[in-house]
């Protein structure tokens, strides 16, 4: 009985340690993803994007990779945040947030590619792109899919620049980082970026905000 008690205590201790390790890992993934999105959002509002980029590289010094095409004046940087260890259990689909920042000819472009890759199926992908082009950009805020109803529930694109409103900017960067650690994964772009898209009752999705992509009939009853 005494031996059984020791074994039981060891098993409970191991289970508790495993739960703590898992919780710590999940917290670290979410914190890193939130910080990466916040860094891009900060660049989008900063009057000094050079400093914003420097802060980004310092914060993620161990994870940021320079592009092979870098020159003394132009360069690109890439940061990948994944749930690789979680996805090994097969209870969580592989999910990745890929952040890329480029500085070319004095202008910045920042991209966030957020994707869920379930085994044996095509998963949802959200692409958010911010351009540092206050005067050159043709469109300030573009969403695809857009309008009241779309059957495209798995491929979403949001493009914005410095001319957008605070509401549009906050919505574009409101990525749901817990998709990286959600049991079963997120099922569509409306779940991954819920301030931009919403799910309709018939299985289609609708955009929550008007954008430069809208045609004249997109919002008619």
∠ CA 127-123-64, nearest 5°, is: 50
In a domain, 86, yes or no: yes
Residue tagged 């695809």 (tokens): 144
Percentages of the chain per state (helix, strand, coil), in multiples of 5: 35, 25, 40
pLDDT > 90 in the chain, percent: 66
DSSP state of 91: S
Is 182 part of any domain?
A: yes
The two tokens of residue 1 are 């009985």
Q: Residue 23: what pLDDT?
A: 80
How far is Cα 87 from Cα 184, in angstroms, rounded to an integer? Answer: 10
**Which domain range does residue 49 map to?**
2-207
pLDDT-derived band at 192, boundaries 50, 70, 90: very high
Residue 215 lies in a domain: no
Over 60: is that where the pLDDT of 161 sits?
Answer: yes
Q: How remote is the C-alpha of 64 from its chain's centroid?
A: 16
Q: Total domain count for the chain?
A: 1
Residue 13: predicted pLDDT: 57
Report whether pLDDT(5) > 70: no
Residues 6+ apart with CB under 8 A from 184: 91, 92, 93
- Indicate whether 214 belongs to any domain: no
- Between 219 and 90, residue with greater pLDDT: 90
Angle at 191 between CA 126 and CA 86, to 5 degrees: 80
127, 130, 131, 135 alpha-carbon torsion, rounded to 10° = 120
DSSP class of 51: H
Q: Is 221's pLDDT higher than 50?
A: no
Do the domain assignments include residue 155?
yes
Residue 71 included in any domain:
yes
Average pLDDT, the chain: 87
Instruction: Write down the pLDDT at residue 220.
Output: 47
Reported as a single tens digit per residue, the pLDDT across 41-79 is 999 998 898 999 999 999 998 899 999 999 988 999 999
100 close to 78: Cβ distance less than 8 angstroms: yes
Which parts of 64-106 are beta strand (E)? 65-66, 75-82, 94-104
Which of the four pLDDT bands, split at 50, 70 and 90, describes residue 152? very high
Give the pLDDT of residue 162.
Answer: 87
Q: How far apart are CA 210 and CA 152, in angstroms?
A: 17
Q: Write out pLDDT tens, residues 86-116.
A: 998 888 999 999 999 999 888 899 999 999 9
Q: Checking phi first, is residue 119 left (phi over 0); if not, alpha (psi -120 to 50) or beta? A: beta
218 in any annotated domain: no
Q: What is the pLDDT of residues 6-22, one digit of tens each?
A: 555 555 555 555 567 77
Whether 42 and 27 have beta carbons less than 8 Å apart is answered as no
| 220 falls within a domain | no
**Is residue 40 pLDDT above 50, yes or no?**
yes
């Amino acid at each position: 009985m005494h031996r059984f008690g020791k074994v039981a205590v060891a098993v409970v201790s191991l289970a508790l340690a495993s739960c703590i390790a898992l919780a710590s890992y999940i917290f670290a993934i979410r914190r890193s993803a939130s910080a990466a999105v916040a860094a891009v959002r900060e660049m989008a509002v900063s009057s000094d994007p050079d400093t914003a980029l420097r802060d980004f590289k310092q914060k993620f010094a161990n994870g940021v990779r320079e592009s092979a095409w870098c020159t003394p004046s132009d360069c690109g940087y890439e940061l990948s945040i994944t749930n690789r260890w979680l996805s090994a259990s097969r209870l969580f689909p592989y999910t990745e947030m890929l952040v890329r920042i480029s500085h070319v000819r004095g202008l910045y472009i920042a991209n966030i590619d957020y994707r869920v890759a379930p085994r044996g199926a095509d998963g949802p992908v959200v692409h958010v792109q911010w351009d540092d082009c206050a005067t050159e950009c043709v469109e300030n805020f573009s969403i695809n899919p857009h309008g009241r109803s779309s059957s495209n529930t798995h491929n979403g694109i949001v493009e914005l620049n410095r001319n957008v409103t605070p509401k549009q900017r906050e919505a574009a960067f409101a990525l749901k980082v817990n998709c990286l650690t959600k049991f079963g994964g997120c099922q569509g772009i409306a779940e991954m970026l819920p301030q931009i898209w919403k799910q309709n009752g018939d299985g289609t999705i609708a955009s929550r905000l008007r954008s430069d992509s809208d045609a004249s009939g997109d919002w008619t009853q």
